[in-house]
Amino acid sequence: MTEYAPPIPETPEGDYSISIGPQHPTHKEPIRFIFQVKGETIEHVDLRIGFNHRGIEKAFEQRTWNQNLYLAARLCGICSAAHQFAYAQAAERCAKIYDEIPERAQYIRVIIQELERIQSHMLWYGVLAHDTGFDTMFHLTWRDREIVNDILEIISGNRVNYAMWTIGGVRRDISRDQITNIIPKLKDLRKKCDYHRDVMMSERSFIARQENVAILSTEDAKRFCAVGPTARASNVNCDVRKIDPYCAYNKIDFDVPLWDQGDIFGGLSLRLDETLISIDMAIQALENLPGNPGDIKIRVPRKIDPNEGIQRVEAPRGEDIHFVRSNGSEKPDRHKIRAPTFANLPSLVHRLKGCQVADIPPVIRVIDPCIGCCERTTFVDIKTGKSIDLSGEHLISRTNRAHRLGTRVLEF
């Protein structure tokens, strides 16, 4: 593999270079991290991304506006609705029909967005629990997450890629029956999420693993253009739903929680709060669904006159921005995607410096890339050239050992 790998930079005597990755399944950004460590402290971080680069932006230029909707959903399986949504709205702005979308469609858009946020946040804190060695919680949250997946399946027919949007509205309506079916489920889920919150907030060893680890100050969060929960945990109010409202978000009543610690624990508490708020928002939108059944989309011309459209939406991980340019034909001329994880990488690199090796999995987890990233960690001892394979579990046992010994420096 080494022939293809970027060169590991020279390290001074006594230092190690650690390469983590590339097995790291976020959509556009599977990452290979190269850490230089002194003892157990990270001194320098380099990253190589692009292992999942599939050339989607070019593919957008070869398909028609409507076909592209399905391409946009497959940018990421976890926030597929957010990407599809941003693309649809950017195209609507480009075609100048953004203000004509029926109100019912706008509310349905909010509902799907919030349901997606719930499932994504539950996924996140479940996996964080797994990364920090709290596997019971992982299984609990994933069991309860199935409730949201069921609801999404009732509405859209699929558990993961919902394909609910179309340019000019939504593709499926929500009927009375479905609403009466869904609301009790959401209330049940709210109780369960409350319980998750209680458990996580009172488990001392779990919290000790996260407090004061990898702190991102407000200043740095602003400097590195962090977005989403990562920035909000550092007290930057950057919730696109509030600061740049779109669809029906300005008609719905909700709070944006902010935390100022900026550590992993801040990120956790923030997402736990947001999950509860999102459940409330989904219930609120379902109860107040306006308009006549069936009035969910408008006709859109097949060709769009030369224009530009830009739209940002609040994906579960932060601001997701799509730009489209039309040239009068059936296909877009240019489509640019900036996914939230991409925007959070500079701040991640910054906050990794000075961390302990054992803290790598939760710190990478805090910006919410996806599952299984640190399952395969390879430590390369530069002096002997020998490599040791460390999985997430090994890393966890390492910290536990470090804590037991009362020291953070361990010999390899």
Partner 1 sequence: MAKLINKTKLVVDALTNSPFVGHLNCGSCNGCDIEIVAALTPRFDIERFGAVLQGTPRHCDVLLCTGPGTRQMEPRIRRLFEQMPEPKFIVAVGSCASTGHIYQETYSTCGKLDNILPVTAYIPGCPPRPEAIIDGVVKLITLARQGAKATEEEED
Partner 2 sequence: MMLNVPKSLDEVAKALNLTRRDPKIYPRDYYVNSSSDRMLEIAAKLKNEFGVHHVSTVIVRDDEDGFHLIYPFSVILDNSEWGKLIVDFLVDKKNPEVESLTPEFPGLVIAEREAYDMMGIRFKNHPDLRRLLTPDIMPSDIYPLRKDITAEEIRRRLAEEAEKRRLDLE
Give the integer Cα–Cα distance in Å for 388 and 390.
6
Write down the least CB distance from residue 312 to partner 2, Å.
7
User: What is the b/e burial string over 61-75, where b = at least 16 CB atoms within 10 angstroms of the residue's CB?
Assistant: eebebeebbebbbeb
Report the DSSP beta bridge partners of residue 188: none
8, 15, 23, 403: residue in contact with partner 1 (rule CB under 8 A):
23
**Pick from 388, 405, 348: nearest CA to 42:** 348
Q: CA-based Rg of the chain, rounded to a whole angstrom? A: 22
For partner 2 (CB under 8 A), the number of binding residues is: 43
**Would you count residue 392 as binding partner 1 (CB under 8 A)?**
yes
- Provide CB contacts within 8 A for 203, sequence distance 6+: 134, 137
Q: Mark residues 118-147: x for contact with partner 1 by CB under 8 A, - for none.
A: -----x--------------xx--xx--x-
Question: Quick one: what does residue 301 bind among partner 1, partner 2, ligand SF4, none, with the CB cut-off 5 to 8 Å set by partner type?
Answer: none
Largest interatomic CA distance in the chain: 72
Write down the least CB distance from residue 77 to ligand SF4, Å.
5
Q: Reply yes or no: is the peptide bond before residue 301 cis, omega within 30 of 0.
A: no
Question: Quick one: what does residue 237 bind among partner 2, ligand SF4, partner 1, none, with the CB cut-off 5 to 8 Å set by partner type?
Answer: partner 2
Contact yes or no for 214/350 (Cβ under 8 A): no
Write down the least CB distance from residue 73 to ligand SF4, Å.
8
**Would you count residue 241 as binding partner 2 (CB under 8 A)?**
no
38, 44, 48, 74: residue in contact with ligand SF4 (rule CB under 6 A):
74
**Would you count residue 370 as binding partner 1 (CB under 8 A)?**
yes
Helix (H, G, I), strand (E, B) or coil at 303: coil
E-state strands within 100-216: 165-166, 169-170
Which residues in the 71-90 window bind partner 1 by CB under 8 A? 71, 74-78, 80
Contact yes or no for 227/238 (Cβ under 8 A): yes
**Would you count residue 10 as binding partner 2 (CB under 8 A)?**
no
9, 62, 100, 293: residue in contact with partner 1 (rule CB under 8 A):
62
Write down the least CB distance from residue 254 to partner 2, Å.
15
Site of interaction with ligand SF4 (CB under 6 A): 74, 77
